[in-house]
Structure 1
Amino acid sequence: MIRLLVVDDSPLMRRLLKEVFAREGDFDLSFARDGAEALELIPAVKPHVVTLDVAMPRMDGLACLDLIMLRHPCPVVMVSALTEDGAEATLAALDRGAVDVIPKPGGAVSLGMDDLGPALVAKVRAAAGVRMRGTLRLAERVRLRAGGAASPAPATRPPRADAKPPAAPRLAEKAAGGLVLIGCSTGGPPALDAVLSRLPADLPWAAVVAQHMPASFTGALARRLDGLCDVGVVEAGPPTPIVAGRVYIGRGDADVVVVRRPAGLAVMAVPSSAEHRWHPSVDRLVDSALAHLPADRLIGVLMTGMGVDGAAAMGRLRAAGGTTIAEAEETAVVWGMPGQLVRQGGASFVEPLDAIAARILGELP
């Protein structure tokens, strides 16, 4: 049985979530009305997973998450409103140790839960298999055990001291010599931070990212990464020419594809394909790039995430002569997607997270 603690101030949401998980038959459910009550229950319940609402009275989700990670580290899935503030808070939560996010349904909540229920169950099951990193906020935990005060984590990670200044208009954009295609899901935003922040501003290729995420969150993710990285990071929407030294984040709840326009290659968001379960689809992104570029001008990177999205297409990429990199099991929050690539023999290299950027740069012509 998976012990699940649901933390939400809404009686309706608690009831609906109870119905969703009770139908599965393998969840042992507990409930808390706010963060303070959750912290009281956790030592007794010892949950395998916590679902945590962001906006709550008395103690909100971010404050509660901080203390969970310091006192009782366990996998946490955030349940967040589909708003700009909700997106920013969700990214802050992922920085603080949450492993995934699910959007809170709007409008007729009961109808929205019918659509979100299967995805929520899948995310919680994946979270139950997450191995919490022993180094996660270790210094703060040590201070807390020693009787000192734990510093609350910042709402967002500050930009690096050497972060790039505001971008000036470019006189001439340089077409990318090739593409780095990155796919990730659960645990992806911190992994993207670790990889993209190590890429130089003069990167001769561009990168396109398919990160499984709701549409309201990917724009905030792109803006945050743009402030942390030397490469420029933007969300892919309408057809945009692909230029060197730029990273394009696929818009959530859609797919991101490479297309050929009269002026050259472009990247764009397109309606999600029913053939693929998760969106933006990594498989669809890689296949679209293979349709327009030779395999030796493509590098595929598959990082943390549940399921198998990306493994089949990246296997085809390697078979055609391209390079593929899978994140190593020891650093992946969930070794589903990269693990499948490795098991099927589709990975040219298997690298821990902190070595992926160097491997990308080393494989550029």
Structure 2
Amino acid sequence: MERWCKVVVVDDSAFMRMVIARMLNEDAEIEVIGTASNGLEALEVVKTLRPSVVTLDVEMPVMDGLIALERLMQECPTPVVMVSALTKGGAEVTLRALQLGAVDFIAKPSGSISLDAHKIRDELVAKVKAAARAKLRVLLTPPRRIVPTVSAVPNEWAIVVLAASTGGPATVRYVLSQLPPDLPAAVLLVQHMPVGFTKFFADNLNQVSALPVKEVQDGEVIRPQQVYLAPSGFHLLVERGGRLRLDQSPPLHGVRPAADKTLDSAAHIFGERCVGCVMTGMGSDGAIGLLTVRERGGRTLVQAPETCTIPSMPESALKLGAAQESVPLERLPQRLTQIIRAVVGAVNLIGERSG
């Protein structure tokens, strides 16, 4: 079998370079063709060897990972998987890296020099291969958040479920930055992330979103004009009475939270007032749940696959016949807003006629 996926490993620890290279080379389709010990060296190695993917550490001497990433995207665009310590600082830097163009990231199990790095082998291999197939796009930079005026809470409102995986953080950040503060809907957000990262992701999104973003607390009541982020390690379910429940049943499609669980429960409670949207990501999560939304009278759409970093999730939904529309990322927030207002308008009209 051809080793089609060529990788450069960048880490200031010789031990970690050896461990990561060994894990990757154990896969029959991956070949580590070079290494570098800092960002400046990495730029030269990548320009010379032209790999399929770069794994990039964050904290390095001479030139750190963020500066190297920014330079790399400008001078020699290449898919990058960040390798980051699972700490508060590591999470914040990793989210910044995803905004700068990194495709995905791996959390080191035990900090910067990890003795149990073998625990991430399967995830590392899968993410490197996915990154090699990723489409690098011009980043859509959201504006800085403008604090909105207080909007009147609508009498009728919809529920929106947004689902994303690989490539999702930058995509979600853009979409939320464009939604209006008076949106007559509550937004449930399912983004596949390692445990420990979603709290920082919510804080990051609050920098650009006019709708307040919070990590879900078990049992809280859904309110309109609020974004609820599913915490890593829990499925997010909607219950009767509009309450949110965090569920630790086994992962679905290998992930927890799984968007299928959220979409299915939201569709059964909200019916025609439910809007589902599946965006960039690996795998097929969201397809079956989106079909349930459609079958129960809700509205469904996907991010157009050609505008995704990884198109597998939207493609799965389209193949299943679950999506009514496929919308390019640039137009997705506007179209979501139009659909939500139309759904709420239809509910109001039915209420007036029945009254």
Q: TM-score, normalised by structure 2?
A: 0.88
Question: 1:23 matched to which residue of 2?
Answer: 26
Question: 1:320 matched to which residue of 2?
Answer: 296
Residue pair 2:267, 2:292 contacting (<8 A) in 1 also: no
Question: 1:192 matched to which residue of 2?
Answer: 172
Residue pair 2:190, 2:258 contacting (<8 A) in 1 also: yes
Question: Are 1:68 and 2:66 matched, yes or no?
Answer: no
**CA–CA distance in 2 between the matches of 1:309 and 1:355?**
23
Question: 2:147 matched to which residue of 1?
Answer: 164
| Amino acid corresponding to residue 274 of structure 1 in structure 2 | P
The 1:354–1:272 alpha-carbon spacing in structure 2 relative to 1, beyond 3 Å, is farther
1:174 is displaced (CA, Å) by 6.5
Question: 1:2 matched to which residue of 2?
Answer: 5
1:360 is displaced (CA, Å) by 1.7
Question: 2:347 matched to which residue of 1?
Answer: none
Match of 2:42 among 38, 44, 49: 38
**CA–CA distance in 2 between the matches of 1:79 and 1:58?**
18
**CA–CA distance in 1 between the matches of 2:242 and 2:154?**
12
**CA–CA distance in 2 between the matches of 1:207 and 1:117?**
34
Residue pair 2:24, 2:125 contacting (<8 A) in 1 also: yes
**CA–CA distance in 2 between the matches of 1:287 and 1:235?**
20
Residue pair 1:272, 1:280 contacting (<8 A) in 2 also: no
Residue pair 1:183, 1:210 contacting (<8 A) in 2 also: yes
1:271 is displaced (CA, Å) by 2.3
Question: 1:290 matched to which residue of 2?
Answer: 267
1:361 is displaced (CA, Å) by 1.9
1:227 is displaced (CA, Å) by 2.3
Q: How does 1:329-348 map to 2 (within 5 A)?
A: 329-348=305-324
Question: 2:327 matched to which residue of 1?
Answer: 351
**CA–CA distance in 2 between the matches of 1:321 and 1:157?**
32
The 1:316–1:238 alpha-carbon spacing in structure 2 relative to 1, beyond 3 Å, is closer
| Residues paired across the two proteins, number | 336
Question: 1:148 matched to which residue of 2?
Answer: none
Aligned-partner SS, 1:101: strand
1:131 is displaced (CA, Å) by 1.9
1:173 is displaced (CA, Å) by 6.8
Aligned-partner SS, 2:235: strand
The 1:268–1:58 alpha-carbon spacing in structure 2 relative to 1, beyond 3 Å, is farther
**CA–CA distance in 2 between the matches of 1:173 and 1:46?**
53
Question: 1:109 matched to which residue of 2?
Answer: 114
1:46 is displaced (CA, Å) by 0.5
**CA–CA distance in 2 between the matches of 1:199 and 1:280?**
24
Question: Are 1:363 and 2:339 matched, yes or no?
Answer: yes
**CA–CA distance in 1 between the matches of 2:72 and 2:83?**
16
Question: 2:207 matched to which residue of 1?
Answer: 227
Q: Name which of structure 1's ranges 354-363 and 299-308 shifts more when overlaid on structure 2.
A: 354-363
CA displacement, residues 94-128 of structure 1 (integer Å, 9 cap, x when unaligned): 111111111111179343x3332111111111110
The 1:98–1:275 alpha-carbon spacing in structure 2 relative to 1, beyond 3 Å, is closer
Residue pair 1:176, 1:245 contacting (<8 A) in 2 also: no
CA displacement, residues 243-277 of structure 1 (integer Å, 9 cap, x when unaligned): 010011111233222233xxx31224332623431
1:4 is displaced (CA, Å) by 0.6
Question: Are 1:177 and 2:157 matched, yes or no?
Answer: yes
CA displacement, residues 289-342 of structure 1 (integer Å, 9 cap, x when unaligned): 233222x11111000111111112112221232211111122111111001111
Residue pair 1:197, 1:229 contacting (<8 A) in 2 also: yes
1:191 is displaced (CA, Å) by 1.0
Question: Are 1:303 and 2:306 matched, yes or no?
Answer: no
Match of 2:130 among 126, 145, 149: 126
**CA–CA distance in 2 between the matches of 1:280 and 1:35?**
34
| Amino acid corresponding to residue 346 of structure 1 in structure 2 | A
Match of 1:82 among 83, 86, 97: 86
**CA–CA distance in 2 between the matches of 1:281 and 1:176?**
27
5+ residue gaps, structure 1, are 138-155
Give the aligned CA root-mean-square deviation in angstroms.
2.3
Aligned-partner SS, 1:6: strand
Aligned-partner SS, 1:240: coil
Aligned-partner SS, 2:276: strand
Aligned-partner SS, 1:301: strand
Question: 1:205 matched to which residue of 2?
Answer: 185
Question: 2:60 matched to which residue of 1?
Answer: 56
Question: Are 1:250 and 2:230 matched, yes or no?
Answer: yes
| Amino acid corresponding to residue 103 of structure 2 in structure 1 | V
CA displacement, residues 187-210 of structure 1 (integer Å, 9 cap, x when unaligned): 111111221122111211101011
Q: TM-score, normalised by structure 1?
A: 0.86
The 1:176–1:192 alpha-carbon spacing in structure 2 relative to 1, beyond 3 Å, is farther
